[in-house]
Amino acid sequence: MECSICGKDFPNLNKIELEGTIVGVCDKCVKFGKVVEKKIDYQQIKRYVSFKPLIENEIKLVSEYGALIKKSREAKGLARIDFAKRINEKESVIKRIEEEEMGLDDELMKRIENFLKIRLTEDYEDAG
């Protein structure tokens, strides 16, 4: 299904009210309206976000990226809520990333990498 705001394809969308109209939007665009109904299949989003866009860019997330982020955050002595505030993100998003229920877009990945001084990507090598 296609997000009504950004146009990207996602397996499931959130329903929001935007200027009196109910539209389907992705998690990133949900901030532009009032949530009416939220139904998300996290496993499908994980597969979509983690692999499809990253293979096109010839990079991929390192294995166990969630554990790496959590370990680095804890090494800095930060609770999840404090880390989220420092990188200007919702705590629930950080939780889903650490549990690998969701992948990362390029912008969020860079914020996390820069703050924690870690690398979350590796070069993609085609098996063919």
2-55 pLDDT, tens digit each: 888 888 888 788 888 887 788 888 888 988 888 886 555 544 444 444 444 444
DSSP secondary structure string, 9-48?
B-SS-EEEEETTEEEEE-TTTGGGSEEEEE---HHHHHHH
Task: Choose between 9 and 124: higher pLDDT.
Answer: 9
How many angstroms separate the CA atoms of 119 and 112, rounded? Answer: 9
Q: How many domains does the chain have?
A: 2
Residues 89 and 46 in one domain: yes
Q: Is residue 128 part of a domain?
A: no
For residue 123, the one-letter residue type is D
| Coil, strand or helix at 108 | helix
Task: Choose between 66 and 43: higher pLDDT.
Answer: 66
Residues 49 and 104 in one domain: yes
Enter the pTM of the model. 0.53
Q: What is the mean pLDDT of residues 68-92?
A: 95
Residues 48 and 109 in one domain: yes
CATH code: domain of residue 80: 1.10.260.40
Residues 64 and 19 in one domain: no
Structure tokens of 37?
A: 């109904």
Residue labelled with tokens 């929001």: 16
Q: State which residues form the domain around 8.
A: 1-40
Residues 53 and 96 in one domain: yes
